[in-house]
Chain A
């Protein structure tokens, strides 16, 4: 059996269990790009005992929760109410779930929490680590299935035996859990650093469904193992066990001291429930466990408060734009005057067509919506030089300045991101966020030393800026360095090439129209940096012997200019 077909079997097992208890297990998050495996899997979905309903990430409130069918109401002159998808139980299939915003996530979470028999299938087509489904939703769903890399030959398209599933469903209510089952699952969750109590709850329900599927009325160890291996791996935050080498994460997320304390406490207190169980789950832990956790915990804040396009032409607030014809879907507001104006010329003609009608004769095509344009949120990307030369002289000051700026960014409600470059490359210490707690924590643990890969820092900043712009933020790059670039983009120690690389990337930033700011923190102002700033079309601020407060003042001034 190949690795792919194993994973396929696990995915099918998850779907089968979901079909046994769709409302209790809440659903499944499917991470896969479109391809034959995904296609085959979707073809199996009708096994769910619920009508399938497709959603898209921009679904309106009316479609979700129901509302007035305006077109029908106007045509028939009686109130016609549309039933929303949330009204009747169904399996909601949401495509491109990684694009779903925090607002849709909150609404769907509300639907799931209402226990009206809904289950949710999220199709996550995210290409990159940072593109993820909203955690508020994925946390509520029992299963996470990854089908990437499964070939057509490995995906077995045989449909499930529906009679078996029906039998299991009728048996489900009589399945009993043993007194220790909950203990085993909770202890296991603690060992994997899963804090949320939803995970063991869902696992227990999975175990129940699994017992029912095997036509037993008691949960066995086998069911528990299956439940743990299906529910826990995607939620694990630590790899348990002594012999397991911690994956070398670039910047391990810092658990707060209390967390660490609590982890070790819980671990000490618990007897090993069953080494077999732990092994079963550990085998399925994603390889990039710790890498994956950083975006998982932070991506939300950035997608949560940003719009879809960089223009951010919304219909809720900001500077008014001319009204535009459209449908009233609950997210937009009608421009009444414009609507009446549009309807006015047609009145005599419509009156002739329907002489008995009272009042104004308005057709759906007359409706005009209000539109507004708002300025988007600013994102300050700090690119901090943590190389040996900078560390010796000014890293402490730079940190101080960044902290001050962060406090100001907080007051202005800006978003902040932090990139550090040292050694052979650059890393994003903090993806765009508004959370100061995190920023502060990451900054405090920023180590110094090594070469100055200036080009790598600029590259990372450029990529982040473009990404942020596509989310509707306005990025600004603030670069703090002492300017002696000595590591090339591909990590070689070559001073000339390194300087050239830096210049190329500075030009690239300028071409993309990303505003910037270069702060020279070396003891003597560097011509090289002045040139670099010119290439970026960015203000150059030399700050010899500046304290943190002056540095912060300089940046604020340059940004406001």
Chain B
């Protein structure tokens, strides 16, 4: 298998790239929703990001990628005590995946042949400490969506079925992509994504040609191409790592908190998740930019992606909520 396309070599799509980097700095932001046309590089970006991220340290053979031996779930029966480094997991959740495959189920094979009650972990277990990528998330079956919501919120997967009673950590960043023309996403799930960005095909011929050129040299002369972009990728990785360290030290002035609240009130977003995400994302952005104090600029920068999907939506309003957010931001923050 070839290595994924380098993250830094993706042309344009700044909003999407920024959103993904911010969730890498602070996974608590809660996932990215990417809506846009086909062939705009949505899945390329997700895979590229995973390859960019520093590897995680995990116990060898642990199905939930535990960092310490003590954290390994009992049911996994791991013999090894070795902690190895492995790439950040990116798990694909295909449409039509059964509930069993997503949450895990009784290991039928062991149950029947050896008479043992064992748990066979599902995709949620494998995605722990990594990314769960759902392409065409808007076409996902409703009952799987419910499941995901529940787990994404609690960070824990609870399986109570077929005589099993298992719980394991499932903290992952949800990345969903889809094309809104093909179906809408339920508001409950929308709200659960931290950030949402809309991607469009580049409209500039030069930019499009550049995309084709890079992709072509990626495919025809892989080694040289990867080498050329390695340093840029490393630079981003270092910035992410520095930002992770700097994140707890970011100072949040009182007026900025007021701004957040005012912004969300003015937009009439439901609940308090809007404010919380706005603040968290702004802090991640400040850390990424190497600042130590949160400013209005940070808020202004990330407000559209943090809030546009949280507005009480008028299902018949086609202008898109991005414009509404931009207007309100201009009103409130000046």
User: Are A and B interaction partners?
Assistant: yes
A54 at the interface (CB under 8 A from B): no
Stretch at the interface among A264-272, A276-284, A536-544: A264-272
Q: A186-B212, A205-B219, A407-B316 are in contact. Are A270 and B205 (CB under 8 A)?
A: yes
Query: Contact: A359 with B114, CB < 8 Å?
Result: yes
Tell me which residues across on chain A come within 8 A of B203, comparing CB atoms.
Answer: 262, 265-266
Report which of B40, B43, B182, B220 forms a contact with A197, defined as CB distance below 8 A: B40
In this complex, what residue of A is CB-closest to B214? Answer: A182
- Cα-based distance from A440 to B320 in the complex (angstroms): 13
| Complex CA–CA separation, A73 to B205 (angstroms) | 57
Contacts of A139 in B (CB 8 A): 38-39
Chain A nearest CB from B36 CB (Å) reads: 10
Total interface residues on B, CB under 8 Å, equals 56
Q: Is the CB of A107 within 8 A of B96?
A: yes
**Using an 8 Å CB-CB cutoff, how does the interface string of B199-215 with A read, 1 for contact, 0 for none?**
00111010011011101
Question: Which of B18-26, B78-86, B105-113, B254-262 forms contacts with chain A?
Answer: B105-113
* In the complex, B99 has a CB within 8 A of chain A: yes
Please judge, given known A-B contacts A183-B209, A265-B203, whether A101 and B136 are in contact too, CB under 8 Å. Answer: no
Q: Which residue of A lies closest to B211 (CB)?
A: A197
**Shortest Cβ distance from A438 into chain B, in angstroms?**
6
Q: Which of B137-189 contact A (CB under 8 A)?
A: 139, 141-143, 162-163, 180-184, 186
User: Would you call A198 and B315 a contact (CB within 8 A)?
Assistant: no
Contact present for A109 and B1 (CB under 8 Å): no
Q: Which residues of A contact B105 (CB under 8 A)?
A: 333
Residues of B within 8 A of A189 (CB): 208
Cβ-based interface call for B334 (8 A):
no
Known: A182-B212, A336-B111. 4 other contacts (CB 8 A): A70-B109, A110-B94, A196-B201, A436-B184
> In the assembly, what is the distance between CA of A24 and CA of B109, in Å?
38
- A-B contacts, 8 of them at CB < 8 A, read A61-B97, A61-B101, A106-B136, A110-B135, A186-B209, A197-B208, A332-B98, A437-B180
Are B212 and A200 in contact, CB atoms less than 8 angstroms apart?
A: yes
Assess whether A101 is in contact with B101, with CB atoms less than 8 Å apart: no
Q: Point out the residues of chain A lying under 8 angstroms from B163, CB to CB.
A: 336
Do residues B109 and A360 form an inter-chain contact, with CB atoms below 8 A?
no
Question: What is the minimal beta-carbon distance from A454 to any residue of chain B, in angstroms?
Answer: 28
Q: How far is the CA of A196 from the CA of B44 in the complex (A)?
A: 14
A488 to B2 CA separation, bound complex (whole angstroms) = 63
Contacts of B112 in A (CB 8 A): 74, 360, 362
Q: Chain A interface: which size bin?
A: 35 or more
Picked from B41, B115, B162, the residue with its CB within 8 Å of the CB of A336 is B162
Establish whether residues B205 and A102, one from each chain, have CB atoms under 8 Å apart when the complex forms.
no
A204 contact from B96, B115, B183, B212, Cβ within 8 A? B212
Stretch in A220-228, A298-306, A473-481, A492-500 touching the partner = A298-306
B74 CB within 8 Å of chain A:
no
Q: Is B92 positioned at the interface, with any CB of A under 8 Å from its CB?
A: yes
Q: Tell me whether A186 and B139 are in contact (CB under 8 A).
A: no
Which listed residue (A73, A110, A438) contacts B92, Cβ 8 A?
A110
Say whether B318 faces chain A, with CB atoms less than 8 Å apart.
Answer: yes
Identify which of B43, B162, B213, B315 gathers the most chain A CB atoms within 10 Å of its CB.
B315
- The residues of A that contact B71 with a CB separation of less than 8 Å are none
Interface residues in A311-342 (C-beta closer than 8 Å to B): 316-317, 328, 330-334, 336
Query: Which of A39-47, A112-120, A545-553 contacts its partner?
Result: A112-120
